[in-house]
Amino acid sequence: MSLLEVNALTKKFGSRRSVDEVSFTLQPNTSTALIGPNGAGKTTTMSMIAGLLQASSGSVRLQGSKDIRRHIGFLPQYPKFYSWLTALEYVEMVARLSGLSAQEASKRSKQVLEYVGLGSDMKRLTSTFSGGMKQRLGIAQAIVHDPKLLLLDEPVSALDPLGRSEVMTLLKQLQQQTTILYSTHILHDAEKMTDQVLFMKEGKLVEQGSLADIQLRYADPQYLVQFAHDNDAERFAASRKQLVRREVNSVYLAIDAELPTMQALMSSLLATGYDIVKLERVSASLDQIFMKVAGANEHMARVVD
């Protein structure tokens, strides 16, 4: 049984549909990446699930709960804390708002602050925290009440590389204990911790499925041949009708009837005498898949117009 069911969720601002009939389900203890360019409607979707925004139509159902706010932890892209509270006071306060008793709140708050690596800073005012520390405090406040679902809006986009890897490590640990839905436009992050991906574009869900499925569907395997000399690459590229693209000394070729196997490619290369550095069968990265999904949608839009 699925943990979260989102059904035809729609948000209209005036006549513009920011989120347009988005439907998906989340299975317990999985993590799902909501991917899309800025302005695709990711934050609006998350806000509606979190109950911050009222949907224009459609529904959000969390398994076995009437008040969804009781069972979610939410981390906005730029979490803002009260500058006059210490990290511990802050987390204790939100834990109590979510229904924990004073003792529980105090115990759990210390636990989660230790967990996110703020154990020695928990008595400091939040106004003295760096961006990475604030993001980790944001995660602590989101998990303190043991939510069934964790909603993270662009959890690492605003961080420097060090902060980003710290937070990614944390999220990968959390992934084993709870259900996570997070939005991102950095595909590299999504590749590292995702069971399911949802592609959003202009308010619509344009593609969804498990990462493995999608990779298979859009894999588009190709040969990569890397030459020692750029002009060899250039000459070889010009001679092959399977050419997909050339990047300086690397040539990408489509797999077709003439070159069905690596052996076929090798024997055709042997005949040329070029100095070859690398020979590989590659498939598309999430980045390329994303470009393709976004592009496909554009073609469709053009046809409709």
Partner 1 sequence: MNDWSAVPWNLVMPLIIIQVLLMVVALIDLVRIHETKGPKWLWAILIVVVSILGPIAYFIIGRKQQ
Partner 2 sequence: MNTWRVLWIKEFRESWRSFKLLWIPLLFLFLGVSDPLVNYFMEDILNAVGNMPEGFQMIMPELHARDLLLATTEQFQMMGIIVLIAVFVGTISRERSGGTATLIYVRPVSAASIFLSKWMGASLVALLSALIGYIGSIYYTSVLYGEITFSTALTIIATYSVWLLLVMSLTVALSAAFTTAVAASLAIILIPIGGILDSLLGGYWHVTPWKLARYGVLVTDGTIESSYYWTTLLLVIGITLLCLVLGIWATDRNRRLAAV
Q: What's CA 128's distance to the chain center, in Å?
A: 29
Which C-beta is closer to partner 2: that of 149 or that of 214? 149
Interaction partner, residue 128 (partner 2, partner 1, none; CB < 5-8 Å by kind): partner 1
> Judged by CB under 8 A, which of 23, 59, 97, 229 binds partner 2?
97
Tell me which residues in 64-93 interact with partner 2 (CB under 8 A).
67, 69-70, 72, 74, 76-82, 84-85, 89, 93
Q: Are 171 and 116 in contact (CB under 8 A)?
A: no
Total of residues contacting partner 1 (CB under 8 A): 7
Q: Are 207 and 214 in contact (CB under 8 A)?
A: yes
- To partner 2, the closest distance from the beta carbon of 97 in angstroms equals 4
Which C-beta is closer to partner 2: that of 55 or that of 265? 55
Which C-beta is closer to partner 2: that of 136 or that of 246? 136
Interaction partner, residue 69 (partner 2, partner 1, none; CB < 5-8 Å by kind): partner 2
Interaction partner, residue 249 (partner 2, partner 1, none; CB < 5-8 Å by kind): none
The piece of 33-41, 97-105, 169-177, 287-295 that touches partner 2 (CB under 8 A) is 97-105
Which C-beta is closer to partner 2: that of 26 or that of 293? 26
Q: Are 63 and 3 in contact (CB under 8 A)?
A: yes
Which C-beta is closer to partner 1: that of 128 or that of 261? 128
Which C-beta is closer to partner 2: that of 3 or that of 294? 3
The interface mask with partner 1, positions 58-97, x = CB under 8 A, is ----------------------xxxxx-------------
Number of Cβ atoms within 10 Å of the Cβ of 136: 25
- To partner 1, the closest distance from the beta carbon of 127 in angstroms equals 5
Binding positions for partner 1, rule: CB under 8 A = 80-84, 127-128
Which residue ranges make up the site for partner 2 (CB under 8 A)? 43, 46-47, 50-54, 67, 69-70, 72, 74, 76-82, 84-85, 89, 93-94, 96-99, 141, 153
